[in-house]
């Protein structure tokens, strides 16, 4: 079973946790192991909300800003599976990682994005998945009629152009969403990039390293399931 705890209640690193029945609980399907199931939760739900809202069609070009993060890794895969041409922002050292997730192109997140996109999308990208960085600046990379969907509380009213649209979404880790994500993983259409799994006692130093750009999700084995 996989569940999303209420963030205001705490207890996510506890051996036992009580949560409301409707707060996002799903059975782990055959073929999905516990570390992968645990890592789906909030990041997977946020990525699915962004991708569904983008409603990108096969052949469209979507810029995923923050492709190396937990949400971004899922978003790249979900978009690529829909036939979308994904351009992923990433540090140069992580280019192979995002390509392996399904990105058709990668651009350096620390360099001039507009300059790097001139050859890849001369008229601007069709859509932007805003998962990191300055949403207003990213919106300038859209073609006329393009759209940006943000998981970072971007205010559409603050966008600099009238010929684009913006939407802000939030993760909905409901039972239906968790079931849907779990089925995607079990079917091999979605990979959960768990960087490593470690015991609870090693969590504090691991969290410090994780905030410094570690790739993949961090799994914590709180107690033995045996």
For the segment 41-64, what is each residue's pLDDT rounded down to a tens digit? 788 999 999 999 999 999 999 999
Which residue ranges does the chain devote to CATH 3.40.50.720?
54-168
> What pLDDT, on a 0 to 100 scale, did the predictor assign at position 64?
99
Instruction: Note whether 103 and 86 are within 8 A (CB).
Output: yes
User: Distance between CA 107 and CA 178 in Å, rounded?
Assistant: 31
Instruction: Note whether 142 and 164 are within 8 A (CB).
Output: yes
For residue range 121-153, list pLDDT tens digits in order. Answer: 999 999 999 999 999 999 999 999 999 999 999
User: Distance between CA 5 and CA 16 in Å, rounded?
Assistant: 11
Which is nearest to 178 in space by CA: 163, 164, 192, 161? 192
Which run of H or E residues covers position 54?
helix 34-54
Top-confidence residue, 37 or 68: 68
| Entry pTM | 0.85
- Superfamily for domain range 54-168: NAD(P)-binding Rossmann-like Domain (3.40.50.720)
Domain 2-44+172-221: which CATH number of 3.40.47.10, 3.90.180.10, 3.90.950.20, 3.30.70.20 = 3.90.180.10
Is residue 225's pLDDT more than 60?
Answer: no
Which residue ranges does the chain devote to CATH 3.90.180.10?
2-44+172-221
Is residue 157's pLDDT more than 80?
Answer: yes
Instruction: Note whether 167 and 152 are within 8 A (CB).
Output: no
Query: What is the chain's mean pLDDT, rounded?
Result: 86
Contacts of 33 (CB under 8 A, 6+ apart): none
């Amino acid at each position: 079973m996989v569940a999303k705890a209420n963030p205001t209640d705490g207890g996510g690193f506890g051996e036992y946790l009580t949560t409301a029945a409707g707060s996002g609980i799903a059975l782990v399907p055959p073929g999905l192991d516990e570390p992968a199931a645990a890592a789906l939760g909030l990041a997977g739900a946020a990525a699915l909300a962004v991708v569904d809202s983008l409603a990108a069609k096969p052949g469209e070009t979507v810029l995923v800003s923050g492709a190396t993060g937990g949400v971004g890794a899922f978003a790249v895969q979900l978009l690529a599976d829909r036939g979308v041409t994904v351009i992923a922002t990433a540090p140069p050292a992580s280019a192979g990682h995002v390509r392996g997730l399904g990105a058709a192109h990668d651009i350096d997140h620390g360099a001039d994005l507009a300059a790097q996109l001139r050859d890849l999308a001369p008229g601007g990208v069709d859509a932007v998945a805003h998962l990191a960085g300055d949403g207003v600046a990213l919106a300038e990379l859209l073609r006329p009629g393009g759209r940006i969907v943000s998981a970072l509380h971007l205010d559409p009213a603050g966008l600099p152009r009238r010929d684009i649209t913006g939407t802000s979404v939030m993760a909905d880790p409901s039972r239906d969403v968790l079931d849907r994500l779990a089925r995607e993983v079990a079917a091999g259409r979605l990979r959960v990039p768990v960087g490593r799994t470690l015991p609870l006692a090693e969590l504090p130093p691991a969290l410090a390293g994780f905030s410094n750009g570690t790739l993949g999700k961090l799994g914590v084995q709180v107690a033995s399931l045996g």
